[in-house]
Amino acid sequence: MEKIIKNNTLYFDGCDTVELAKRYGTPLYVMSETAIVEKCKEVRDTFLNKYERTRAAYAAKAFLTLSMCKIIEREGLCLDVVSGGELYTAIKANFPAEKIEFNGNNKSQGEIELAVDYQIGRIIVDGLDELKLIESICEEKGKTINILYRITPGVKSDSHDYIVTGKKDSKFGIPLDDEVIYPAIEQAIKSPYVNFMGFHFHVGSQLHNNESHLKALDIALKLIRETKEKYNYVTPELNIGGGFGVNYTEEDSKKPYAYFLDPMMEKINNFSKEINITRPEVVIEPGRSIVAEAGLTLYTVGTIKDIKGIRKYVSVDGGMTDNIRPALYQAKYEGLAANKANDTKTDVVTICGKCCESGDILIRDAKVTELKRGDIFAVFTTGAYGYTMASNYNKNPLPATVLVKEGKSELIVKRQSYDHMIENEIIPESLSL
Ligand SMILES: *Cc1c(COP(=O)(O)O)cnc(C)c1O
């Protein structure tokens, strides 16, 4: 484990977290390179090396920086981006173009142009109108591009409603109504500008149960069969998305990748034999599961309010600006006083942020040791959807991020300055006093 307690102090990947807080300031995101590398290795050992013709595209939206692109490239994964900004970050990190895939329900002309110019590996297309946009861009540039269709399999996964994406009432993907999906497939097969590689689905996030993946897979396989029968066209690829859950608290029961992937691969293999096709190349898109547990956030404790008989609020110097997930979907976290990590936990408190919102709470009813102003508080499992969802609400600067590995730490994102926050702001002539 990357987290250990030594001399009553929390260590993360060999680094004294209290020292990190002192050296880099708080709030501070800390990412363990060892933990990220371990997860990538699990993906290789239990999927990429176990099954031929497979790829894993790390979903950049979970945590993306230039350095993260380098780790992902070195560890042999591809990269799944969902915006021009993420794509730009990958390009700036010299990420191999053919290993980039581009998802998203509303890609702009400019974003698609960037993708076509860089000749990325795949665009995951969300509908026929997007296909037409891609075709016109490719025609103009004299280029072609590989595409898949993201389908809406119409299955409801067992997770918070905001992170369920595969049900029919969804802004993502192409609904499987005959009059929608078939013309789209036909157009993609006929198009001289795109190579139609196949289908993609992504059923939701933070899942501990493989049921919705398996149901969605059945629907995708049916579509592959129909495409073969109707158009005599065998789609060479199948993308089964991400969504593999992690442990935030003891209520979670994380499963290994194999729990999701082995039964899916068996289904795909059997199906391919049955309809006598080469098994499609299978792609997964893990995001959260690669980085969530590899991250923690360090805060400094400030004001403490003990409202007698009601609740004790312990405020820290960050909050919903660096971790929106508790406010957005009641996400639960655990934490610890990093500078007195072994002290008996005699208190129950609410760890809250410093933003002007009552919902700015990081942990409700946390069992902690008695906290004092100046203590360093660590919130665990913040590596996914923390930094990438961070905001400047209340003009709080974005925290710094350090990468730690076996006792060494390196800054990979500088703390944002006040000047940086107002850099794009302009006072027009009419307002100069
Ligand atoms: C968010 C997303 C993922 C990654 O999901 P995780 O739950 O973080 O693994 C994969 N594919 C698509 C299309 C996504 O939108």
164 or 250, higher pLDDT:
250
Percent of the chain with pLDDT over 70: 97
Q: What pLDDT is attached to residue 170? A: 84
Q: Does residue 162 surpass a pLDDT of 80?
A: no
Phi, psi at residue 195, to the nearest 5°? -100, 115
Q: Does residue 163 surpass a pLDDT of 80?
A: no
Q: What pLDDT is attached to residue 9? A: 98
Q: What pLDDT is attached to residue 169? A: 81
Q: What pLDDT is attached to residue 277? A: 98
Alpha carbon of 62 to ligand 1 centroid (Å): 8
Amino acid letter, 228: K
> Is 352 labeled as catalytic in the residue annotation?
no
62 lines ligand 1 (CB under 6 A): yes
Cβ–Cβ < 8 Å for 206, 255: no
Q: Does residue 159 surpass a pLDDT of 70?
A: no
Q: Does residue 271 surpass a pLDDT of 90?
A: yes
Tokens of 208: 């501990």
Sheet with 9-12, side-by-side order of all strands: 3-6, 9-12, 15-16
pLDDT 10s digits, 293-322: 999 999 999 999 999 999 999 999 999 999
Question: What's the 3-state SS for 91-154?
Answer: HHCCCCHHHEEECCCCCCHHHHHHHHHHCCCEEEECCHHHHHHHHHHHHHHCCCEEEEEEEECC
Q: What pLDDT is attached to residue 155? A: 83
Residue 46 DSSP label:
I
Cβ–Cβ < 8 Å for 352, 333: no
pTM for this structure?
A: 0.96
pLDDT 10s digits, 273-296: 999 999 999 999 999 999 999 999
3-state DSSP call for residue 385? coil
Tell me the domains of the chain and their CATH numbers.
3-30+293-416 (2.40.37.10), 64-286 (3.20.20.10)
Q: Does residue 183 surpass a pLDDT of 80?
A: yes
243 lines ligand 1 (CB under 6 A): yes
Alpha carbon of 378 to ligand 1 centroid (Å): 26
Q: Which of 110-114, 175-179, 197-201 has the lowest mean pLDDT?
A: 175-179
Q: Does residue 166 surpass a pLDDT of 90?
A: no
Q: How many residues does the chain have?
A: 433
Q: What pLDDT is attached to residue 154? A: 86
Tokens of 22: 């002192």
Alpha carbon of 328 to ligand 1 centroid (Å): 17
Residue 360 DSSP label:
-
Indicate which residue of 15, 138, 352, 356 is catalytic: 356
202 lines ligand 1 (CB under 6 A): yes
Alpha carbon of 243 to ligand 1 centroid (Å): 6
Ligand 1: which atom is nearest the Cα of residue 103?
A: 13
In angstroms, what CA-CA distances link 264 with 73, 131, 223, 244, 282?
Answer: 26, 28, 16, 13, 10
Give the residue, out of 36, 79, 80, with the most ligand 1 atoms within 8 A of its beta carbon, to mutate for a pocket test: 80
